[in-house]
Structure 1
């Protein structure tokens, strides 16, 4: 597990997303996650929907099921699941700005509910959900083993967990850790970055069975080329971008550097992207 030199708290994660709200929405889009390219020439907006469809399919999501979206952002994934899968979704975000926008967009949709706070301190009763999803939020949680334990607790027997995770490559070289992965953690407000092997072991330790995973790195890496192009265009055409990046009062202005590091880390194989799917046994007690 790779950790930044300074610990990262949930409050710092929230502040990061609140501060960069307009930049994330304009440059990355309201889904705030990678796209999954099925074909070489494909619109980025369609690619992000492909990722949601891929995750929903891997989790075996059925119409009418109850879903928890951990790290829901602006609610784009929750809305997509409600619209296309008839899912009943509860989304969690630590960002107050994201929470306000998600609620405002979906105030009249009875299939969508949002919670503002730390999901590791949620008050959901045991066995509340059919599916727990975490699309790129695990890296922001300080206690990743606790995430898997909480997911196990709130799932009904037979429920499924699907996690899209930012990952360090197994056996990443020291220079890649020092110059790419540790700075990505520090600048992106990631308390830690594990491998698929790490997370599979945590899922099994929490009680999950039939744990399986898939490396999607090659199919999602193009996301950062798209983000870099969008960012470069806005730097040329929107003065507020340059003003923000040059203003030393804003610690989060280093996000431009982080985007470059991410693209390079993918190209060098130091950074990976994986999907992990697991099942809670059909009886409430842990198998063992």
Structure 2
């Protein structure tokens, strides 16, 4: 597990996303996560939505199911999967600005709350499926992240995680010059390897049913974001002010280099809880 010298907590993560709200929406878009390219001809919007849809497919979502979007950002993935799969989604974010944006773009069946996942207050066995797209990295206590997901999911529940991962046995220079600075600048309390994640998942009671490394299919996200940020800084005085005070611009070349050297990986985990003694929920019930 890569741990930066400067510790990060939930308050730092919330401040990061609140303070960078206008830049994040302008540079990353409403989904605030990587795109997933298959042919290479997709637009960035199509690639970003493709990642969300890939999560929905792995979860085998069916209409009426209760779902949880852990670290939902602006709620865009929740809205997309609610619309395409007919599910109900409770989204949790640490950012008040992100929740405010989600409230201004409501859709039926999606509720977004400002709440820390590690103290989420959701009932036991109240969700059929859950996902965490690039939010597990921000969790201070990663074993508790998995334990809470296992608690909230029904027996037989499904859980998909899209995660930034450290290369297994990364060389010291990669850790020192790429991974630790990325953790620090990205407000990541730690960055685990594939093996770390799978061990924590199993310890929490999950079965790992699938893993896919899609690093090559997502890496171009960072060259696109770098170009957008440079443009924003050049033409927008407010963006320039916020970027100067809150962003280490070195994170962009570091991310590009981390992918190209293999120091960082991007993995999609599909997990499930045991299906024995399943007790069906009453229709219409779910997380609140």
Scaled to the shorter chain, the TM-score interval is: over 0.9
CA contact (8 A) 2:208 2:269 kept: no
Distance 1:145 1:284 in 2: 24
Q: Confirm whether residue 261 of structure 1 aligns to residue 254 of structure 2.
A: yes
Q: Confirm whether residue 125 of structure 1 aligns to residue 119 of structure 2.
A: no
Q: Confirm whether residue 282 of structure 1 aligns to residue 275 of structure 2.
A: yes
- Cα RMSD, aligned residues only: 1.3
In structure 2, the partner of 1:235 is 233
Decide which of 130, 135, 138 is 1:137's aligned counterpart. Answer: 135
Distance 1:26 1:54 in 2: 24
Displacement after TM superposition at 1:33 (Å): 0.3
After superposition, give the CA deviation of every residue in 1:11-63 in whole Å (9 maximum; x if it has no partner). 00000000000000001101000000011221000001110111111121222
Taking structure 2 as the reference length, what is the TM-score of the superposition?
Answer: 0.94
Displacement after TM superposition at 1:284 (Å): 5.2
Distance 2:82 2:210 in 1: 26
CA contact (8 A) 1:95 1:116 kept: yes
Report the secondary structure of 2:72's partner residue. Answer: coil
CA contact (8 A) 1:204 1:211 kept: no
After superposition, give the CA deviation of every residue in 1:250-282 in whole Å (9 maximum; x if it has no partner). 3x221x221221111101110110001111011
Report the secondary structure of 1:105's partner residue. Answer: coil
Distance 2:161 2:124 in 1: 20
Distance 2:95 2:182 in 1: 20
The within-5 A match list for 1:159-198 is: 159-198=157-196
Distance 1:226 1:266 in 2: 14
Decide which of 152, 157, 179 is 2:155's aligned counterpart. Answer: 157
In structure 2, the partner of 1:33 is 33
Taking structure 1 as the reference length, what is the TM-score of the superposition?
Answer: 0.94
The within-5 A match list for 1:204-219 is: 204-219=202-217
Where do 4+ consecutive residues of structure 1 move more than 6 Å?
none
Distance 1:32 1:79 in 2: 14
CA contact (8 A) 1:200 1:211 kept: no
In structure 1, the partner of 2:58 is 58
Report the secondary structure of 1:164's partner residue. Answer: strand
Q: CA 1:24–1:284 in structure 2 vs 1: closer, same or farther (change >3 Å)?
A: farther
Distance 1:236 1:99 in 2: 29
Distance 2:209 2:139 in 1: 20
After superposition, give the CA deviation of every residue in 1:78-123 in whole Å (9 maximum; x if it has no partner). 10011111110000000011111111211xx330111112111011
In structure 1, the partner of 2:14 is 14
CA contact (8 A) 2:178 2:254 kept: yes
Q: Structure 2: which 5+ residue stretches go unaligned?
A: 279-288
Displacement after TM superposition at 1:241 (Å): 2.9
Distance 1:55 1:209 in 2: 17
Report the secondary structure of 2:247's partner residue. Answer: helix
CA contact (8 A) 1:59 1:161 kept: yes
Displacement after TM superposition at 1:177 (Å): 0.4
